Structure 1
């Protein structure tokens, strides 16, 4: 048996010195500080990524919603209405049946222009009370793609004839008894398709919740004709600005010959290649729109600490947007939408 005195100093158990302990603690604290800084930086990056991802989603959804409706504008049933139509320009807030733009007693028949709009600085429609001053609006008119509509008595519907013996091409009404047009078999047991009529107006508001004590989030809103009245709802929050540029077909071949900000005025100085076109009739100008360039400026919903937005944004106007000099990040999204139901007929 070995005695304690025979055990070498290297084999004896001993603790750490104070210096060693302090060095270990210092290294541990440095590692914790590094890990903490990494965690904070990662959390901030993740938060910014989430903000940007939400802004991208909102911007693209706003753009796609407007483009989809523009592409449907002017659809009043199956293709086949006379190419030589008369056009009306109902207001965005119109709800009376007699003022919605349809008249099947005229020859050729009268229908609403596929779309209309409010240019920047134009008169604000009365039903859009929270529309931001100086901004633009777009109203589209078309028949739904759903042919299984059931008459409710408060909505308006379109029925287009497929039978040569019908004395009317189109019926626009809200009462079941008035939809008398026939399908291809010209049989009373096979009525023509019935489609709900859609009127939507896209516009900008300075608030998502516009009630007393609400917020100040810029929002793209939609006013839709539903159950006999105009109903407004928020579509996408964080939409700072929208610019609409309208492609006018001045030679009736279906393709836009020039783009203007306001088709309701004389654009002869801008559309220099369309010298033979008359700009005197605002309704005709709107009826000749065959494309719309939609440009959206989307803003993050939450500010970014340390960020100052000194950028300017080109939406296609003569003057760029910004700088806003705030802590919100922004991005521009743009697309061109064709009015297939207007331009496509002319191309054929």
Structure 2
């Protein structure tokens, strides 16, 4: 009878061991989840920077490829009869004629109609913007401004998911000679060899805009979002390679540098 009334169960020691094992398992699972979440967030930030940088370079290359296009030889080329206005190291303007079929505007859509057009590409604070008319809008550009668009920049309503421009540099590749030894190796009616001899931040005295053969672009983007788990890292060199981006070693943000050289073709 006494055997039937006997109850079995866990001893205090067994209960404590079980709780310890469960606690260890929960801690390991939590650490794994946290590590996975951080890695996923870092990957999303890296992908965002890469996509934004590639998009900007693609849009710049398309705009520069249009510079100087005209529907018939001898017609004006859009910016004071020039294909390019070398404004500064952070801004330039391309001029061309629209053809109602293939010339693209700032949004990437085909420009309707024909006639002279110009696109201004410039850094404005933490945005890189393209505009076809008017003055530079605020950064980020308002959605009701149909003449300007942010090619890259922070999100208009915050949220930390955008990319910020921390450096942008335009260098102008100029042809200063020597003259070709035979007319057949010159480009068109030019008496120069049409090969870039140097890249400059501003056109020297005696060099005209028609001697610009290419643009060298540098863009440095930074994640709008902060990743505290990054900790300290090496400082990021600026576009001119003569210094570093202030705070880049300790601000817990991701950085990406993009460079490209784009040839001008419609002389």
Say whether 1:260 aligns with 2:200: yes
The equivalent residue for 2:132 is: 224
Pairwise CA RMSD: 3.2
Contact kept, 8 Å, 2:228 with 2:252, in 1: the verdict is yes
> Which string of whole-angstrom CA distances, capped at 9 and with x for unpartnered residues, describes residues 51-109 of structure 1?
1111111111112211211121111125xx25xx9989x5xxxxxxxxxx2xxxxxxxx
- Structure 2 unaligned residues grouped into runs of 5+: 104-110, 135-144, 154-163, 178-191
Conservation of the 8 A alpha-carbon contact between 1:309 and 1:328? no
Equivalent residue number for residue 16 of structure 1: 10
Deviations 1:209-254 (A, max 9, x none): xxxxxxxxx111122138xx99333221112211111111223223
Q: Distance in 2 between matches of 1:22 and 1:86?
A: 87
Aligned residue pairs, count? 222
Match for residue 225 of structure 2? 302
In structure 2, how many angstroms separate the alpha carbons of the residues matched to 1:241 and 1:30? 47
Once the two structures are TM-superposed, the CA of residue 314 in structure 1 deviates from its matched residue by 4.4
Q: Which residue of 2 aligns with 1:108?
A: none
Matches within 5 A, 1:169-180: none
The 1:320–1:71 alpha-carbon spacing in structure 2 relative to 1, beyond 3 Å, is farther
Report the Cα offset of residue 144 of structure 1. 2.9
* Counterpart contact for 2:70–2:77, Cα < 8 Å: no
Say whether the 8 Å CA contact 1:139–1:200 is kept in structure 2.
yes
Q: Is the 8 A contact 1:248 1:291 kept in 2?
A: yes
For structure 1, the 5+ residue unaligned runs are: 91-100, 102-110, 121-135, 150-156, 158-193, 207-217, 267-278, 343-348
How many Å separate the matches in 2 of 1:56 and 1:87?
A: 34
User: Normalising by structure 2, what TM-score?
Assistant: 0.72
Secondary structure of the structure 1 residue equivalent to 2:47? helix
Q: TM-score w.r.t. structure 1 length?
A: 0.56
After TM superposition, the structure 1 = structure 2 runs for residues 305-316 of structure 1, keeping only pairs within 5 Å, are 305-306=228-229, 307-308=231-232, 310-315=234-239
Give the alignment partner of residue 150 of structure 2, picking from 224, 234, 258. Answer: 234
The answer for the alignment partner of 2:116 in structure 1 is 197
TM-superposed CA distance for 1:309, in Å, is 5.6
Whole-angstrom distance in 2 between the partners of 1:253 and 1:231: 38
Q: Which residue of 1 aligns with 2:258?
A: 333
Per the alignment, do residues 60 and 223 of structure 1 end up closer, same or farther by CA in structure 2, a change over 3 Å counting? same
Larger radius of gyration: 1
Deviation, structure 1 residue 4 = 8.8
What SS does structure 1 have at the residue aligned with 2:94? strand
The 1:56–1:197 alpha-carbon spacing in structure 2 relative to 1, beyond 3 Å, is same
Q: How does 1:49-88 map to 2 (within 5 A)?
A: 49-77=43-71, 81-82=73-74
Residues 49, 221 of structure 2: 8 Å contact kept: yes
**Alignment partner of 2:86: what SS?**
strand
